Structure 1
Amino acid sequence: MEEEKQNLPEGQKAALRRRRRWLTCCGATVAALIGVALVAVILAFTVFKPKQPVTTVDSVGIKDLAISVDLLRLRLDINVTLDVGVSVKNPNKVSFRYKNSSALLSYRGREVGEAPIPADKISAGETKPMNLTMTLLADRLLTDSHLYSDVISGQVPLSTSWKISGRVKALKIFPIHVVSAASCELTLFVAKRTVGNQRCEYKTEL
């Protein structure tokens, strides 16, 4: 084979040398690209591995409370507005963008109010505070037979819940879906106009 190459005209020999250099260059380029891709994947799932945002309920208080009895209609009217302080920490090395969502207020399993959570972004390592104003819609409780006895006893059970979902991008290449949720059971003490017996649960998932 080598003897045949030696017998080739100089023009063909030069063409073969150029082809070998081109193949060598292409091989080196492909190997470099594969190496860079492997490093990027390793970094994406180690150093830059996406972590779940951490939601914490910092405070729950009463902003407004009004209770009245309509004797003509034999009806109890109650209006409650809660101020809920929440913080969401993004432990990732990249920003976390989340979609529009809502915080829900419930009474004995029935949804009685909500507050919007507008879409936004939380920068890398940032803890973002959120102040949610949740108002109980009294008309949704007009037919609930438990409300009167709860108000008379001085303790009204309520619960709040919300879910924030969005994406983080490892190395700004690989989008990862992330969900952070929280729910709290609490008691409204009518006479004291306070909130207590608060029990919260947190859930995060990738």
Structure 2
Amino acid sequence: MDVKNGGGRSHKRRNICMGISVGIFVIIIIVVILAFTVFKAKRPVIQIDSIALDDLSVSLDVARLRVNINVTVDTDISVKNPNKVGFNYAPTSALLNYKGQLIGEVPIPAGKISAGETAGMNLTLTLMADRLLSNSEVYSDVYSGALPLNTYTKISGKVSILNIFKVHVVSSSSCDFTVNISNRSVGDRQCKYKTKL
């Protein structure tokens, strides 16, 4: 009699263990399906909304074929997080370039963009005039009335899906534009965007 009861308890324990194992397996399957469907990581979208000239001062030194120039550019960008969860991004910088040469930058502190949110950033990029003193092309560009510049912004971070899967995402923008010296305006803007997981 005791032996039979012991066998029954053992069988019951085995069934409970199997039930728990099956339950855990089903939960894992559901989590994986959700992670790769509803909560699948999507690329953040970075967009340049506007580029405007905030300040411009130029003086030509004809005798030495040099130019003294100060430029401040206001750039408005927006970053959209299409994910069902927040996007945490690392600190980075927005860069101002002249024909591939870095001439100014502004830091962008780390932050978080909530699920489905679009975050706006206003960046002020100031040209570091001393970096252009030795560049002979600047004089001819300023003399012609058009200074070609470029802004580059790259934001990288992680999307945490169900606090289990962490997906690294990167989004960048590169905008070529021209500073029109005569009317102190920005023209010929062409932007390219890249995103990757």
- For the aligned pair, the TM-score class normalised by the smaller chain equals over 0.9
List, as ranges, runs of 4+ consecutive aligned residues in structure 1 with deviation greater than 4 Å: 70-74
Where do 1:20-35 residues align within 5 Å?
Answer: 20-35=11-26
Provide the residue aligned with 1:95 in structure 2. 86
2:164 matches 1:168: no
Provide the residue aligned with 2:55 in structure 1. 64
Q: Equivalents in 2 of 1:72, 1:155: separation in Å?
A: 21
- Secondary structure, in 3 states, of the residue corresponding to 2:38? coil
Q: Which residue identity is paired with 2:117?
A: E
User: CA shift at 1:30, angstroms?
Assistant: 0.6
2:10 matches 1:19: yes
Cα displacement string for residues 68-96 of structure 1 (whole angstroms, at most 9, x for unaligned residues): 23578663111101000000000111000
In structure 1, runs of 5+ residues without a counterpart are: 1-9
- Secondary structure, in 3 states, of the residue corresponding to 2:57? strand
Where do 1:8-157 residues align within 5 Å?
Answer: 10-70=1-61, 75-157=66-148
Residue identity (%): 52
Q: Which residue identity is paired with 1:153?
A: S
User: CA shift at 1:183, angstroms?
Assistant: 0.4
User: CA shift at 1:172, angstroms?
Assistant: 2.6
Change (3 A) 1:72 1:152: closer
Where do 1:169-188 residues align within 5 Å?
Answer: 169-188=160-179
Number of equivalent positions = 197
Q: Which residue identity is paired with 1:114?
A: E
User: CA shift at 1:173, angstroms?
Assistant: 1.9
Cα displacement string for residues 102-132 of structure 1 (whole angstroms, at most 9, x for unaligned residues): 0111001111110111100000010000001
User: CA shift at 1:162, angstroms?
Assistant: 1.1
Q: Equivalents in 2 of 1:181, 1:50: separation in Å?
A: 17
- Secondary structure, in 3 states, of the residue corresponding to 2:140? helix
My pick for the range that moved more, 70-79 or 17-26, is: 70-79
My pick for the range that moved more, 70-79 or 168-177, is: 70-79
In structure 2, runs of 5+ residues without a counterpart are: none
Q: TM-score, normalised by structure 1?
A: 0.92
- Secondary structure, in 3 states, of the residue corresponding to 1:64? strand
Q: Equivalents in 2 of 1:194, 1:26: separation in Å?
A: 74
Aligned-residue RMSD, C-alpha:
1.3
Provide the residue aligned with 1:5 in structure 2. none
Q: Equivalents in 1 of 2:90, 2:105: separation in Å?
A: 16
Structure label with greater radius of gyration: 1
Q: TM-score, normalised by structure 2?
A: 0.96
1:201 to 189, 192, 197: 192
Q: Equivalents in 1 of 2:111, 2:63: separation in Å?
A: 48
